[in-house]
Amino acid sequence: MTPSARSGPTPPPALLLCLVAAPLVALIARLLSAPWVDDPANFLADVSAHPTRSDAGGLLAMLAAALLIPAGLTLAAAIRPHKPKLAATGATLTVVGTIALAGIATASLIAGQIARQPQRAAMVDLWDHFHNASIGNVIFFALVAGGVGYLLLAIGLYRARVAPLPAAALTGLGGVGIMLTAPGPARPVIIGVAVLALVGFTWVAAAFRPRTDPDHAHRTTPAANTAA
């Protein structure tokens, strides 16, 4: 069953813009960036083949991470009046995941500089060491936390009647996908989940409209006519 229109104020246009722009910028970033693969030599070769494009993708990925913070907080604010604990937990986890996304974007920019160096064998070893460092486990678990946060927010969107089930589901799946596929490895997958997020986030943004109450209009119309 499709939820009825939500109650509560409509978010400011700037926040609605962030809600749509975040997955859109992430999609463009993923179209430009080289996905991380397990073979460091192949990854650096891919980056060095199009270094400027790779840098643009990394910068846009950083911008997408910055936009995802207000986007996630907007989703949480919408469900907070109805599901405050769900909103708080989801918002916290999405911020944790978004910080990890920014870390991935920073690493991609570093990879662009590494790939430009002439000592290719040494640079491959350097990237392999960097890619397999223990901090990678911390980033991975932070991304998982961010994915869980988007699942919680998606559940809240539907249960609080903010958005219909398909919109909430696409938002949750897209948010999880953006988190878990941030490093790669397959370009069709990382692009596909960004498209899901874009559709879901845009759908939810469209659902943020003032609540209309036909019964209220019906009750007030005769009174207005009488006064006239």
Has residue 110 got a pLDDT over 50? Answer: yes
Contact 150, 172 (CB under 8 A): yes
Q: What pLDDT score was predicted for residue 167?
A: 96
Least Cα distance to 54 among 137, 111, 118, 126 occurs for 111
Q: Which of the given ranges, 5-14, 39-48, 82-91, has the highest pLDDT on average?
A: 82-91
Domain coordinates of the chain in residue numbers?
13-227
pLDDT of residue 68: 97
- CB within 8 Å of 13: residues ≥ 6 apart: none
What per-residue confidence (pLDDT) applies to 8? 56
Task: Give the whole-number percent of the chain exceeding pLDDT 70.
Answer: 87
| pTM of the predicted protein model | 0.83
Neighbouring CB atoms inside 10 A of 164's CB total 17
Look-up: residue for tokens 């109650």? Answer: 7
- Banded pLDDT at 225 (limits 50, 70, 90): very low
Q: Which of 48-57, 84-93, 203-212 has the highest mean pLDDT?
A: 84-93
Mean pLDDT of 145-149: 97
